[in-house]
Amino acid sequence: MRKPDESKAVIQEIALPHGYTQKMFLKRADLIHPALSGNKWFKLKYNLVEAEQSGYDTLLTFGGAYSNHIYATASAGKIYDFQTVGIIRGGEHQPLNPTLKFAQDMGMKHHYLDRNSYRQIHFGKLPDWILKNHSHSYVLPEGGSNSFAVKGCTELVNLHKNEFDHFCAPIGTGGTSAGIISGLDCNKKFLGFSVLKNGEFLYDDIQKLIKSFSGKTYNNWSINLDYHFGGYAKLTSDLVDFVDEFEALNNVKLDYIYTGKMLFGINDLLSKGFFEDNAKILAIHTGGLQGNAGMDKYIRKLRDL
Ligand SMILES: *Cc1c(COP(=O)(O)O)cnc(C)c1O
């Protein structure tokens, strides 16, 4: 497999269904690579350098059965010659879903952890059997969010920080947002869209991630908590219709878990007058399209409603 190519992450103007005076742009980080793309590439890149320089030959990480981070880490292992181990939340289901099948094909070894044990994992506090068997592994936290990830994600925006008034991204663990805010370094405004229900805790997590990277604090950012659609990986027929309409308008595919929710939110906020007239808004397409494959049935059902 070839290496990720950041020059493919072009910025394109997009149209949203609502009439508005603002100008909307999308940074196509999804185009960097077929498998190691979007924010997950930026989150991994300096971790890969660190792992290599510290002499590790194995990457070990965690995630749900449909995780974009698991998928990207498995790809990174294949491309940059690391062994990979994925600790997967929940039981094993055969046949493997498309995410885990791909990860396995890339050489990732999977261990399954029941949901209770999984919940008790805090970074650095792994179950004994994992520590014993994988003491020579470079450990990436869930979602890959650490200070190296923050550093990588500064590069999502630092070349364009003066060209736009608002920057937007979806939020899962907050590492990407922490990087974007650090990359902006007080310029302009960042608005993140939580894809989790009850995402208030993300304010703290993002502050901590920014501090771990630069020691700084910023106040040019906020989190919108209104467009989670019931919670992580929950969808509604409104959301599915919006993603279909967006694709028809722009010929750009969105994932339903992250970028679909963010753009639905931006579209709705535009209709409510949230952004000032004539503002220039840059949304980051963080990728995640591999996740759609595992949601096929669910999406078709919602389309038929
Ligand atoms: C993981 C992911 C996110 C969330 O990134 P965090 O750094 O965890 O907030 C957003 N979009 C996509 C497509 C992702 O895969």
In tens digits, the chain (305 residues) has pLDDT values of 899 999 999 999 999 998 789 999 999 999 999 999 999 999 999 999 999 999 999 999 999 999 999 999 999 999 999 999 999 999 999 999 999 999 999 999 999 998 888 887 765 577 888 888 888 999 998 889 999 999 999 999 999 999 999 999 999 999 999 999 999 998 799 999 999 999 999 999 999 999 999 999 999 999 999 999 999 999 999 999 999 999 999 999 999 999 999 999 999 999 999 999 999 999 999 999 999 998 989 999 999 87
- Ligand 1 centroid to Cα of residue 301, in Å, is 25
Contact 292, 286 (CB under 8 A): no
Tokens 């940059």 identify what position? 80
CA pair distance 245, 282, nearest whole angstrom: 19
Note if the pTM is more than 0.85: yes
Q: What is the pLDDT of residue 124?
A: 59
Q: What is the pLDDT of residue 70?
A: 98
CA pair distance 27, 13, nearest whole angstrom: 9
CA pair distance 166, 280, nearest whole angstrom: 7
Task: List pocket residues of ligand 1, CB cut-off 6 Å.
Answer: 38-40, 68-69, 143, 145, 170-177, 255, 258-259, 286-288
Token readout for 237 is 């027929």
Token readout for 233 is 């990986």
Residue 29: alpha-carbon gap to chain centroid: 11
SS3 1: coil
Ligand 1: residue of 32, 39, 67 to mutate (most ligand atoms within 8 A of CB) is: 39
CA pair distance 103, 54, nearest whole angstrom: 24
Query: Which sign, positive or negative, has the C-alpha torsion 35, 40, 43, 44?
Result: negative
Helix intervals (H) in 191-295: 202-214, 237-250, 259-271, 290-293
For the CA of 174, the closest atom of ligand 1 is 9
Q: What is the pLDDT of residue 85?
A: 97
- Ligand 1 centroid to Cα of residue 69, in Å, is 8
C-alpha torsion angle, residues 194, 199, 204, 210 (rounded to 10): -20
- DSSP 8-state assignment for residue 125: B
For the CA of 149, the closest atom of ligand 1 is 7
Q: What is the pLDDT of residue 68?
A: 97
